[in-house]
Structure formats: C-alpha cells, structure tokens
Structure 1
Amino acid sequence: MTHTAASLPTVSRSSSGRPLVAVTGADGFIGSHLTEELVRAGYRVRAMAIYNSQGSYGWLDTLEPEVLEHVEVQLGDVRDAGSVRALMGGAHTVYHLAALIAIPYSYVAPRSYVETNITGTLNVLEAARDLGTRRVVHTSTSEVYGTARTVPIHESHPLQGQSPYSATKIGADKLAESYHLSFGLPVVTLRPFNTYGPRQSARAVIPTVISQIAAGRTEIRLGDLRPTRDFNFVADTARAFRAVGEAGDEVLGRVLNAGSGREISVGDTVRLIAQVMGREVEVVQEDIRLRPEGSEVMRLLADASALRDLTGWAPEVSLEEGLRRTAEWFTNPAHLARYRVGEYTV
C-alpha cells in the first residue's frame, strides 16, 4: 500500500497494468467495501482518506493484504480542491462517496455539511472538468426523497429536504446535474437506499441493534420503530457503484436508484435481527434518539427498475442473509471492541 501526501500528486508504482480509478470517502463504510469490490474486479484504486494526525486510514486499515497491494491511499480532504485534483489525476473514473452523513449531527453543525457535501462535490466536478475525467459517479441518498408520497419511489419523485443533511445532498445532486447539462460532464448519480453491513457506524439502526445484542444486552435502546426502510447489503451497493461506473454512455446524466424493493419497519427489523441471532429482546424507546417531528422520513421503498434495465444490476443478498453476515461480523470481539455499545452516536 502506497501512502502519498495530500499536497503532492500521486504516482502509480504498480506494474500490473490495472486501470486506475479514484474513490473519495474510501476510508468509510461503503467506500471501503467499494474499494474491495473494485480491486477484486481488476482495478487499481487511488483512495482518499481524510487527513488526521493519528495516521489512520479508517476502514481501509482493515482490508486484506492482497487487496491493499492494489490500493494507493492519499490523505486529504474533499473540501480542499488541491487534494481532490491530486487524487483524480490520471484516473479514468472517480467514485465520489465522501460526505458527512449522520442526520442528527446535521442539526448541530449544518454548515459543515454544506462545506463537505456541496463544496466537496463542486471540487470533484471542477477537477473532473479540468482533467477530462472519463466518468464521475456521484453518490446521492434515498433521504433526498423525504417521506414517500408515492411508492415504490421512482427517480422522478419530488425531492424534500427534511434535514440539513438531505438538503445538502439535494444541493450536491443538483450541482452534478448542472455540470452534465452545462458542460457535458460525464456524470451519473447513484442513489442508494438504506445500506447496511459490516463496518457500518452504530448511528444506524441495524448496527445499533446487532451490536447491543452481540454485547449481551436484552434491552435494546432505539428511537422511533414506525418508519419503514428499504435495506440493502453493502456488497450489493458496492456492485451497484461498479455497475454504473462500467455501464455504457446511456447512464450519463441519469439518477439511478439502488434498492431491494422490499419494505420493512424498524420494529419488524429488530424482531428479524433477534430471530437471526437467536435471542429475545425488549425495545426501550429513548427520546434522545428521536428526530424532530417534521424531519423523520417515515417511508422508503425503492423502484430500482431503471438501474436494472440499464446495467443488469439486481441485489443478490437477501435481508435475512445480510443480517446473518452482519451479525457474524459484529460478534467478533475484535470488531465489537471498536464500538461504544449502547451509547447514542450522533
């Protein structure tokens, strides 16, 4: 694994002949899984990890050596145009995943979401325009739809900024759209629904439940149990990113949903997790975990037919199997030790 300074251009040292792609947010949950997916598919990945003085590369530090052999980690910050340009130089495709994603924290520090999610996206788009990048895969989120007005949710569904987080992602999505329409930039936007799996932050409901059960808790602390979600195992989401990165030009300028088409409430998800893990639990609602009344997205269910028709992508991992794999990962003591079990993570 080659580590390069944020201020310097990265030079490939690989003689494998693998095509080079860049990934922002590669140190995060989905980004690290996408990095694995791309390497196993035959790519060399230049991966941006946010600069920190501890020398941590996030979840990239946990990848297998045979994967890391084809990864160049560049410390930087998507808010810094120089970092972004250095990352993307020579890469034929950039997968832009870097973002602040925790909805509760967006109530506390909304300006930081504007700077990362909107300005960071602008930096990626400007660099791609200047460098002639072959394709930009921009990451959206199902949160931009807000509570569903019609289901399943098609890409033409109205956008509703029900949190500062979703508002900044709407802004980023529209910037990507504008660069395609104004400058012909080869952009495709992937809109994943609720991704879950190993390495996910405990701010999300599935790792919150699984980590508490794995730690031996029988009383599970959660927020609202009524909202419904369309959950997707992270390996399927990573394949969706690769699918739009490799597809023909017919995907350019499009926004494409990636979802399972299966709707389940938070409460029923808890019961399914307990069943998969062979445990009985009691759920206790904590007010601190509740979103403001008008901000909670009550219903999400994807129509992913456009992605399927254009790329052939379809989810391969059922919810039951995905929960089993996720629970297996979290019950490893070394993995569980990374989490503050039971504490509310903003």
Structure 2
Amino acid sequence: MKIIVTGGAGFIGSAVVPKLQQEGYEVFVYDNLSFGNRTFISVDDDHFILGDIRDAKKVDETIATINPDVIIHLAAIHFIPYCNEHPFEASDINIRGTMNILDSAKKVSNLTKVFFASTAAVYPISDNAVSETDELRPLDIYGLSKLAGEQLMEKFYLETKIDTICCRFFNAFGPNETNPHLIPEIERQLREGHRTIALGNLTPKRDFIHTHDMANAVSAIINLKNTGYDTFNLGRGIEYAVTEIVDTFETLLNEKITINIDPNRTRKVERMHLLANVSKLKQKTGWEPKWTITEGIKDLITNWN
C-alpha cells in the first residue's frame, strides 16, 4: 500500500514516517524543508519529493505519479506566534495548500483514505476536557486556518465518499522539534548551560503527547475501515502546568532551575487549560498512549549533543 505524507520530514512526520515504514507501507514524503529536515527520515531519494503544497502543478504531478492509497496531510505552518505575525502566509499554506492536495486527491483512482492533521486550537477556551462534539471557535489565525481545512475535508468527503479523517493534535513533544514550543525552548536553554531560564506564562496547563504515541495513533486511525467523515482528538488526556514541566527537568537533571518571566514571551490571549478527551480514539482503535512526560523528557535529555 502506497502512502504519501506531506510534511513528512517535519517534527511529527519524522515519527509518523518510520512507524508507517515499520508497518510495511511504501511511504513517499512531500516536503519543502522549510521547517523539516531531510536527515530526520530514512527515505530513498526516489521516495522523497522536494516541493511546496502551494505549488498546485507540482502537487498534482506528484500525487498523480504516485497514485497513493492513502494521503496523510501534515504539512502546515503551526507555530501560533509565527502564524499571528504572518497571517497571510499561514492562511495561504494551511488553506490554499490543503485545497491543492484535495484537488489532486479527487483524481486518484486508488485512494481509499485522506488523513488531515488539524489542531486543538479549533476549540474555544474551556476549563474542561474537550470532546470532538464540542463547539468549535478558534482564538487565532492558526486555529481558523485549520478549521477551514476541516471544512474543506468534509466537502471533499461529500463529493468523493472517500474516507476522510480530521485528527485534532494537542501539544506534541519529542525529538526533532522544529519550532520553539515550550518543552524544546526549555530544553534549548538548559542544553546551553543556563539554569536560570526565560519563559512566558507559567500557569497555563497543556495536554502534552509524545510524537511516538501520536505516530501509533495515526497508524491505528488509517487502519480503520469505512469511517466516512470523522474527527478524533489526539492527546494524552493529562494536562501539565509549565511549572510542572520545569520541575520534571529539574528532577531529572538533579539541578536547581530558576524561572525569569519574560514579558516578550507572554501571550495576550491565553488558555488556562487545553485538555483532550481521547475516549473516542481509544474506543474506536484500541490505542493507548505509552510515553509519560517524565519518560519523554528523560529521552530528550539522554540525547543531548
């Protein structure tokens, strides 16, 4: 079975691609390497296509040539501060790029499933764990662009009747991070020898899930049959405050870490909670997360260069 993964050389793609290869799929990667890295994945040159999802002609030629059974669409701009600073670029990549993928997908004779990486940012602020049936009301351009992507996916399903999955990713962490999110930013400062680190908001809690667990979930989801159009949350179902993440690093390093709050890092609009209800994913696939926050951070520290 042939699978093409857009953004497959990126942070989450670098966990998904080897998992799919391990499962015996023939995996092709389409990536412009703006954030990803060719060295993150072990894919032959004839299975790696350097290209931008905004290049409709290149996308069309690539998908037509490969004639995939499954398309996993991960390619996106997803660092929220960057999206807020570059709203037109974020919208162009996340919306027009997705339209290009789907326009090409309609012409594929073998296609049985499309998987779209959406985001927890489609949900409004909530103090409770959010479920797939909850109201959708994004707070930022990233969430808006991904909600538009979900709507494009539903339209694609209605037009083609090809199984289409929107998977709302919560806060990923693990190796090969390509954006300065919380955990890699803490890690970077500590790896550089600092024990007084600069951070922004300290009280918000997030649902951190390891990319290896995410890859296992993606594999489980694409193995589902006759799903029609469906959505899944993908998180761990446990939330951690920023201070708890720092405490974990402190414990594992056995060194005192001091936090300085940097006003330039604080977000003006902040969610105090972002927690996934993942009961639907577990029930439909049997998937269970395996990596704890401690195990994941320990793995990062072990692999410091």
Fold shared by both chains (TM-score > 0.5)? yes
| DSSP-derived class of the 2:197 partner | strand
2:36 aligned with 1:36: no
| DSSP-derived class of the 1:254 partner | strand
Q: Which residue of 2 aligns with 1:148?
A: 126
2:109 aligned with 1:135: no
Q: Which residue of 2 aligns with 1:269?
A: 245
Task: Report the alpha carbon displacement of residue 51 of structure 1 after superposing the two structures with TM.
Answer: 6.3
Q: Could you tell me the TM-score, scaled by structure 1's length?
A: 0.83
Greater than 3 Å deviation, 4+ residue runs: none
Match of 1:83 among 55, 58, 70: 58
2:284 aligned with 1:310: yes
- What amino acid is the match of 2:21? V
| DSSP-derived class of the 1:249 partner | coil
Q: Which residue of 1 aligns with 2:38?
A: 60
| DSSP-derived class of the 2:172 partner | strand
Checking the alignment, whether the CA contact within 8 Å between 1:47 and 1:87 is kept in structure 2 is no
Residues in 1 aligned to 2:49 and 2:196: alpha-carbon distance in whole angstroms: 42
| DSSP-derived class of the 1:68 partner | coil
2:229 aligned with 1:253: yes
Q: Write the mapping of 1:59-208 to structure 2, written as runs, cut at 5 A.
A: 59-63=37-41, 67-69=42-44, 72-89=47-64, 90-132=67-109, 133-149=111-127, 151-208=128-185
2:191 aligned with 1:243: no
Residues in 2 aligned to 1:176 and 1:270: alpha-carbon distance in whole angstroms: 38
Checking the alignment, whether the CA contact within 8 Å between 2:83 and 2:142 is kept in structure 1 is yes
- What amino acid is the match of 1:231? F
Residues in 1 aligned to 2:9 and 2:30: alpha-carbon distance in whole angstroms: 7
Q: Which residue of 2 aligns with 1:344?
A: none
Change in CA separation of 1:235 and 1:51 when aligned onto 2, cut-off 3 Å? closer
Task: Report the alpha carbon displacement of residue 314 of structure 1 after superposing the two structures with TM.
Answer: 1.2
Task: Report the alpha carbon displacement of residue 102 of structure 1 after superposing the two structures with TM.
Answer: 1.2
Checking the alignment, whether the CA contact within 8 Å between 2:10 and 2:178 is kept in structure 1 is no
Deviations 1:101-157 (A, max 9, x none): 1111122210111111011111111211121421100110111113225x2210112
Q: Could you tell me the TM-score, scaled by structure 2's length?
A: 0.93
Residues in 2 aligned to 1:140 and 1:218: alpha-carbon distance in whole angstroms: 35
Match of 2:31 among 30, 33, 49: 49
Q: Which residue of 2 aligns with 1:321?
A: 295
The alignment yields a C-alpha RMSD, in angstroms, of: 1.8
Checking the alignment, whether the CA contact within 8 Å between 1:95 and 1:136 is kept in structure 2 is yes
Residues in 2 aligned to 1:285 and 1:83: alpha-carbon distance in whole angstroms: 45
Checking the alignment, whether the CA contact within 8 Å between 1:26 and 1:47 is kept in structure 2 is yes
Q: Which residue of 1 aligns with 2:271?
A: 297
Residues in 2 aligned to 1:135 and 1:120: alpha-carbon distance in whole angstroms: 18
Change in CA separation of 1:23 and 1:101 when aligned onto 2, cut-off 3 Å? same
- What amino acid is the match of 2:107? D
Task: Report the alpha carbon displacement of residue 181 of structure 1 after superposing the two structures with TM.
Answer: 2.8
Residues in 2 aligned to 1:228 and 1:201: alpha-carbon distance in whole angstroms: 22
Residues in 1 aligned to 2:156 and 2:232: alpha-carbon distance in whole angstroms: 17
Residues in 2 aligned to 1:321 and 1:87: alpha-carbon distance in whole angstroms: 39
Checking the alignment, whether the CA contact within 8 Å between 2:36 and 2:178 is kept in structure 1 is no
| DSSP-derived class of the 2:229 partner | coil
Q: Which residue of 2 aligns with 1:341?
A: none
Change in CA separation of 1:58 and 1:260 when aligned onto 2, cut-off 3 Å? closer
Task: Report the alpha carbon displacement of residue 70 of structure 1 after superposing the two structures with TM.
Answer: 8.9
Residues in 2 aligned to 1:138 and 1:71: alpha-carbon distance in whole angstroms: 24
Residues in 2 aligned to 1:172 and 1:257: alpha-carbon distance in whole angstroms: 15
| DSSP-derived class of the 1:244 partner | helix
Checking the alignment, whether the CA contact within 8 Å between 2:7 and 2:36 is kept in structure 1 is no
Q: How many residues align?
A: 302
Residues in 2 aligned to 1:152 and 1:296: alpha-carbon distance in whole angstroms: 16
Q: Which residue of 2 aligns with 1:3?
A: none
- What amino acid is the match of 1:213? L
Change in CA separation of 1:287 and 1:307 when aligned onto 2, cut-off 3 Å? same
Unmatched segments (≥5 aa) in structure 2: none
